[in-house]
A and B are shown apart, each in its own frame.
Chain A
Amino acid sequence: MKDVLVIGGGIAGIQAALDLAEMGIRVHLIEKSPSIGGRMAQLDKTFPTNDCSTCILAPKMVDCARHPNIAIYTLSELQGVQGEAGDFTARVLKHPRYVDETACTACGDCAKVCPVVRPDEFQMGLSTRRAIYIPFPQAVPQAYISHPDDCLGKDPIVCGRCIEACQKQCIDFDMQEKVLDIPIAAIVIAVGMETFDPVALTEYGYTRYKNVVTGLEFERLLCASGPSGGHLIRLTDRQEPQVIGFIQCVGSRSLKYQRFCSSVCCMHATKEAILAREHIPDVKSYIFYTDLRASGKGFREYVDRAEREYGVEYVRSRVAQIEETDDGRLVFHYEDRASSRPQQMTVDLAVLATSLIPGPGVATLAEVLALELDEYGFFRTNPFSPTDTTREGVFTCGCCRGPADIPQSVAQASGAAARAAQYVAEVLVEQEGQGARE
């Protein structure tokens, strides 16, 4: 009866679920995508220790999957809640996977015969997947999914090849969506963020110039399990870049787009510049920044190391415009601070540090749960009760309450778990008190 619903299976939701479960509370973890793991799974390495992101995340994902107190519902979303805090019933809509996730062993025989090729979302569209696919090798659950919009269907005249290929017969195109009513006492929301689409900043030519990429795309290009197998290349000619320009605050600290600072970009650009140098020993990186914000634990030293040992150069200036040359190189136009004169720099690859913005799920959930948002569209919290939302019994952590780095998200997740556990305990005491009076 005293269960907790955790919404969002990224690192914040995973940590909240694990802490609650280890406190003896049963957790229902719902995730809208086919696997838990969230954004952290897409990162190559993490600052300031350069730990491999998936390598430290995957064990936590497995812990979640194996924990007897945690039930994971992927492809699921919250449709509504009834009742009051302490005694909610959550209505969860689970979309069909068309693959039996308990039986699938992720052998991949189905994908080998699938004729449909689609952009791979996990690889930021830089490579392809099939209509039936596993989002990434460490996905939890370890099961394929057939994407209903991509799949040609089971009609043997049209296709149905995966059904024949699957030895365990896990594929079931008659799977229907399910509606689950789950009694819960409290809710922890950890639905994370999206990244800002920089197409709107036409001056940077994102999508017009192939060698202008976002930070997340660059992470995939660095990653050994990425589209280029860990070879850092320019997209136009697959050659190694010699000069990389990082542009900070793309969409952030701007009157037109997001007024806020996205918190993590100074550090992830620093990390990406360091890693670029590890991939290509003579590459030169320039980071164009507004203020260099590096106040987390070990961050300033990390920046110092980037400058000293990796030759990363920090340029305090906003790039006004990018132009493409005939050979796909990029010319940055910016103001030189020392002389206050216009300056140009030619680079091979431009990396845009785009803002972290609330995902569409935030507004939807705010409506479903009657929660207030702040002026930027994140869940409203009070700085002195930072993991409480505006509704009793509903708590939040991670980037859906504002941009945060991984350790902050993890600490908040444990904090939200503590608040939810406290709430569950207080409700229990109250109900026992009422029971005693009756």
Chain B
Amino acid sequence: MSHVTMTQNEETRVGVFVCHCGSNIAGYVDVAAVTAYARTLPGVVFAQDNMYTCSDGGLTEIKTAIKTHALERVVVAACTPRTHEPLFRDACREAGLNPYLFEFVNIRDQCSWVHRLEPEAATQKAKDLVRMGVAKARLLQPLEEQEMPVEPVALIVGGGMIGMTAAVNLASRGFQVKLVEREPELGGMMLRLDKLYPTQDDAQPLIQQRVAEVRRSKTIEVFTASTLHAIKGFVGNYDVTVRDREGRLSSFKAGTVIVATGARVFTPHGMYGYDGERVVTQLELEKQIADRRLQIANCNLQPAVSNLKRVVMIQCVGARIPERPYCSRICCTTAIKNALELRELNPETEVYILYRDTETQGTRYEAYYTRAREAGIQFIRYSLDHPPQVGEGRVVVYDELLGAKLGIPYDLVVLSTPLVAQEGAHELAQMLKVPLDEHGFFLEAHVKLRPLDFATDGVYVAGTCRWPSHLEETIAQAYGAAARAATILTKEHVTSSGVVARVDESLCRGCGRCVEVCEFGAPALVEVAPGIKVARVNPVMCKGCGACASVCPTGAMAALHFTDGQVMAMVRAALLNQK
């Protein structure tokens, strides 16, 4: 039995307010009977029903009753805490009662609405729920919310297009930014690109413009040839150490972190005769195209010097296979981009793209695919049942649409390979205590509605370190992550809820299971004496979910507001009338 039970006081004075919610509750539940029943419960010194407890009148009645009946706990049986708990907590606070001495009993969403056809049973259930709520309320403890100041500084890991875009956005709003880039130069993957799809614009002016904006900014501090060495702390309050290649360390404080470390292109060693000469990757082709264009410009040669007669591109090399089942999203459009460039250099060059599904979603990319077909680029669909064979001078492929085997002579074979997880992603994830998915990409808090957040408050993600994405998408994400970070940076304080986990250090044996299960990084082991560790919970990071309390083998960890004592009291109250 938990220590909390010992504070139970038979004299605790409880007030109960039962809401009609118009006919939402009263149409199905006998509210007067529930109120009368509440008066019979141990500890209850006052109970009344209201047409709308949430109305100004209802709230005033709660405040008056707290004073005139010296209420120490307040129970409202009404709609749902989702929308109305803050309102009633405020009413308690205004009447001088700690807001955590309030208990919500949900008799609308979880009772009257779902038992519309059985009013008698619904009334009985409402009584049971109120009895449970009162039993818990008698054991409630006052809880405090904690405020911690926010350091208005953003740490951005990764100085490519995405990290820089986020940095410029935040700096323009007056925040300090620390931008950490592993390479000696800012720019990331885009430094290696020649053209950008779907516009065929030059990549370098765009990236150099962003570099210039970063360099011009007075509030962005750039650490190149540097990596994150250590980071400690929590939302609003990180202590960061950055290490450069000479081993020099720089330390600073930050309030939020944006991860924008990008991805790596898979190298197809041993696949389709890859040799870097006659069989190359798209990135290698892109370099060749850029070099050739430079050559043409310098020597004033006609584009026709490009002597490639036939180029065969093979899609999904190393992707959508059992060991790497995902589609890398950007390879179809990258192939089209380079195919169009080859045709531009030499309109005589025939380009064949051997694909499995064209991944050209939306308006722009579908139009791009159409443009490629109109430009005479040949698309041939293959399946894994008959993968293309790269032979001496010929690629043999089974065309799924024609239902026939084709032999295509080639001068160059280009392999489209997927983006794979960045080197060092694992170490960075461990340092930041954020998860990776099974492919090594960073895993966001919720794939649908929180694409740029981690479950840990204050840490955000954007770009291809999250998932292979078009430049257009990653730029939107860069701004998006900046917005998410700014929601923290604009605040002077982060406030913890009172409903958090707390450790009884005399019971804790430092096993660390709470640290393992916490999704939010809230508990940590602290050495209190030589060789003696105990867990401590950072209230600002804790979400009050109780996962730690449920695995704690000694009962040292308690989820405040849902302590063992409180929950067991509810269970006992629930079982009381089971005759």
Contacts and interface: CB of A to CB of B under 8 A. Distances in A.
A421 B174 CA distance: 11
A411 B21 contact: no
B447 interface: yes
Contact of B479 (A60, A253, A291, A419): A419
A48 interface: yes
A56 B403 contact: no
A381 B328 CA distance: 24
Given A56-B446, A414-B480, A167 B22 contact: yes
A294 B362 CA distance: 13
Contact of B449 (A168, A304, A410): A410
A232 B296 CA distance: 64
Nearest to A53: B448
A297 interface: yes
A83 interface: no
Interface string A371-383: 0001010100001
A295 B400 contact: no
A415 B452 CA distance: 10
A411 B486 contact: no
A415 B111 CA distance: 41
Contacts of A407: 447-449, 451
B173 A297 contact: no
B325 interface: yes
Report which residue of B325, B437, B446, B447 has the largest number of chain A beta carbons within 10 angstroms of its beta carbon: B447
A106 B86 CA distance: 20
Interface stretch (A151-159, A199-207, A209-217, A257-265): A257-265
A301 interface: yes
Contact of A376 (B83, B361, B363, B446): B363
Nearest to A56: B449
B83 A422 contact: no
B284 to A, nearest CB: 23
Report which residue of B174, B196, B370, B451 has the largest number of chain A beta carbons within 10 angstroms of its beta carbon: B451
Given A56-B446, A402-B362, A415-B476, A62 B83 contact: yes
Interface in B393-444: 400-401, 403, 437, 441
Contact of A383 (B24, B169, B199, B327): B199
B186 interface: no
B362 A403 contact: yes
A397 B403 CA distance: 43
A418 B479 contact: yes
B221 interface: no
B23 A108 contact: yes
Contact of A107 (B27, B477, B479, B484): B27
Contacts of B24: 105-108
A295 B477 contact: no
Interface string B445-480: 011111110000000000000111011110111111
Interface stretch (B90-98, B224-232, B262-270, B352-360): B352-360
Nearest to B54: A105
A410 B325 contact: no
A167 B487 contact: no
B363 A403 contact: yes
Interface in A384-434: 384-387, 397, 402-404, 406-408, 410-419, 421-422, 425-426
Contacts of B328: 295
Contacts of A259: 366-367, 370
Interface residues of A, number: 75
A89 to B, nearest CB: 24
A366 B145 CA distance: 47
A22 B363 contact: no
A374 B362 CA distance: 13
Given A259-B367, A419-B479, A422-B173, A296 B357 contact: no
B325 A386 contact: no
A173 interface: no
Given A23-B490, A295-B329, A418 B482 contact: yes
A297 B483 contact: no
A24 interface: yes
B172 interface: yes
A300 interface: yes
Contact of A297 (B22, B400, B447): B447
Contacts of B361: 261, 263, 293, 295, 403
Report which residue of B361, B477, B482 has the largest number of chain A beta carbons within 10 angstroms of its beta carbon: B361
A57 B479 CA distance: 22
Given A167-B23, A301-B326, A387-B476, A337 B400 contact: yes
Contacts of B403: 337-338, 340
Contacts of A406: 448-449
B480 A49 contact: no
B329 A412 contact: no
A418 B169 contact: yes
A416 B476 CA distance: 8
Contact of A402 (B51, B357, B363, B448): B363
Nearest to B383: A316
A66 interface: yes
Contacts of A136: none
A182 B437 CA distance: 45
Contacts of B479: 387, 414-416, 418-419
A168 B22 contact: yes
A340 B491 CA distance: 64
B484 A404 contact: no
A22 B487 contact: yes
A300 B326 contact: yes
Contacts of B540: none
B354 to A, nearest CB: 14
Contact of B362 (A263, A297, A304): A263
B488 to A, nearest CB: 9
Contact of B83 (A49, A66, A408, A410): A66
B321 to A, nearest CB: 11
A54 interface: no
A419 B370 CA distance: 32
A109 interface: yes
A195 interface: no
A395 to B, nearest CB: 10
For the complex of A and B, the 3 pairs showing the least CB-CB separation, nearest first, are: A414-B480, A415-B479, A107-B22
10 contacts: A49-B448, A292-B357, A300-B327, A383-B198, A403-B361, A403-B363, A407-B451, A410-B452, A415-B483, A422-B172
Given A56-B448, A107-B23, 7 more contacts: A253-B366, A295-B359, A297-B441, A298-B447, A384-B206, A402-B364, A425-B174
Interface of A: 11, 15, 19, 22-24, 46, 48-49, 51, 56-57, 59-60, 62, 65-66, 105-109, 142, 167-168, 253, 259-261, 263, 291-301, 304, 316, 337-338, 340, 374, 376, 378, 383-387, 397, 402-404, 406-408, 410-419, 421-422, 425-426
